[in-house]
Amino acid sequence: MNEYTYPIILGILVGTALRVFMLRTDYRQYPTYLHGKIIHLSLGFIAAALGTIAIPSIMEKEFTAVTFLTLAASQFREVRNMERNTLTEMDSYELVPRGNTYIEGIAVAFESRNYLVIFTSFVVTLCYLALNVWVALGAAVICFLLSGMLMSGSKLSDIVTVEEKSISFDGAGLYVDNIYIMNIGLPERQEEILKYGMGFVLTPKEFSVRSTIANLGQRQAILHDVSVTLGVFRDSGTPALVPLIKRDLNDGRIGVFILPQEKDSKRAKEIIEHVPVLENAIQMPSKKGRRKHS
């Protein structure tokens, strides 16, 4: 044992604990399996070790050891590819799929969490060696709080107002409030939709939000989260019984038509409000930037 033993142990423990803290299985049902969790915890341990060892390497002027951080970056990029490929394969068997935009967001989140682990272990070890263990523990608490803030992100209730609206038919046309959804010609299908269907209208709070909720990936994320939580009244081969979202071209509102097995309007509204705003869907068209030409 030497002067670096306890700082290294603390850095690895804090970094691994942070990865456990960030590994939460929620209603999005990923990761659900034990082996998937083991993979991510193992990668978290490796990330914690890399971030911890960087400080002693610099103090001992072993600068070549720091180059392992660049190798780690390329390795964790493969984690994103692994998540993307796995979820894409799983998505093809969902009654209401996540969509590529949602999958990409999940994959990026898993990659970025390993970088948060490296940063936390790096800071904790540096504080231990430069100051003392109490400062290191304080830094660990701050990193946990910061990671919790970064994990939370924004949700739909931050950018839209969600209201339940009635669904109706005008001839063969299905409407949520006054927003056209689709054509349903068969009378028996119309009866099923009126019996099991629910409608919601999402009104943007700002003009710039219109393009975000118009994004097809963001719409699919709404349908998937509601269907996973409340179930869906459909089976494969029933194209009429498909949850759908359409846009009012005049004011940018979107009409959400769902077919939950558990018809609970209050819970459905809460689920829609807590759907994450996907990073790839965020656009600010009202903010104009000047383009420089060389």
Q: By the 8 A CB rule, do 37 and 82 touch? A: no
Domain-embedded: residue 250: yes
Both 40 and 141 in one domain: the answer is: yes
Q: Which amino acid is at 224?
A: H
Domain-embedded: residue 34: yes
What is the reported pLDDT for 257?
A: 92
* Total structural domains within the chain: 2
What is the reported pLDDT for 87?
A: 82
Both 137 and 162 in one domain: the answer is: no
Domain-embedded: residue 129: yes
Distance CA 27, CA 24 (A): 10
Both 180 and 106 in one domain: the answer is: no
Q: 139: which 2 tokens?
A: 């830094």
pLDDT higher than 80, residue 215? yes
- Containing structural domain, residue 103: 5-152
Distance CA 270, CA 244 (A): 18
pLDDT higher than 80, residue 221? yes
Both 119 and 174 in one domain: the answer is: no
More confident residue, 127 or 281: 127
Both 53 and 170 in one domain: the answer is: no
Boundary of a domain, candidates 152, 174, 190: 152
Domain-embedded: residue 196: yes
Distance CA 175, CA 253 (A): 13
Both 32 and 113 in one domain: the answer is: yes
Boundary of a domain, candidates 152, 173, 197: 152
Both 268 and 165 in one domain: the answer is: yes
Q: 246: which 2 tokens?
A: 């359409």
pLDDT higher than 70, residue 35? no
Both 14 and 45 in one domain: the answer is: yes
What is the reported pLDDT for 80?
A: 80
Digit-coded pLDDT (tens) for 77-119: 777 887 788 888 888 888 888 888 888 888 888 788 888 899 9
What is the reported pLDDT for 78?
A: 77
pLDDT higher than 60, residue 25? no
pLDDT higher than 80, residue 72? no
237, 240, 160, 254: which is closest to 197 by C-alpha? 240
Both 142 and 161 in one domain: the answer is: no
What is the reported pLDDT for 290?
A: 40
Domain-embedded: residue 292: no
Digit-coded pLDDT (tens) for 123-170: 999 999 888 889 999 999 999 998 888 777 788 888 899 999 889 888
What is the reported pLDDT for 32?
A: 54
pLDDT band at 291 (very low <50, low <70, confident <90, very high): very low
- b/e 25-53 (16+ beta carbons within 10 angstroms → b): eeebebbeeeeeeeebeebbbbbbbbbbb
What is the reported pLDDT for 27?
A: 44
pLDDT band at 30 (very low <50, low <70, confident <90, very high): low
Both 135 and 230 in one domain: the answer is: no
What is the average pLDDT score of the chain? 82
Domain-embedded: residue 237: yes
Domain-embedded: residue 169: yes
Q: Residue 262 has what DSSP assignment?
A: S
Boundary of a domain, candidates 152, 180, 197: 152
Both 84 and 104 in one domain: the answer is: yes
pTM for the structure as a whole: 0.78
Domain-embedded: residue 192: yes
Distance CA 251, CA 74 (A): 44
Both 23 and 103 in one domain: the answer is: yes
pLDDT band at 209 (very low <50, low <70, confident <90, very high): confident
Identify the residue whose tokens are 């869907």.
281
Query: Most confidently modeled of 12-16, 21-25, 249-253?
Result: 12-16
More confident residue, 253 or 62: 253
**Mean pLDDT, to the nearest integer, of 204-214?**
86
pLDDT band at 195 (very low <50, low <70, confident <90, very high): confident
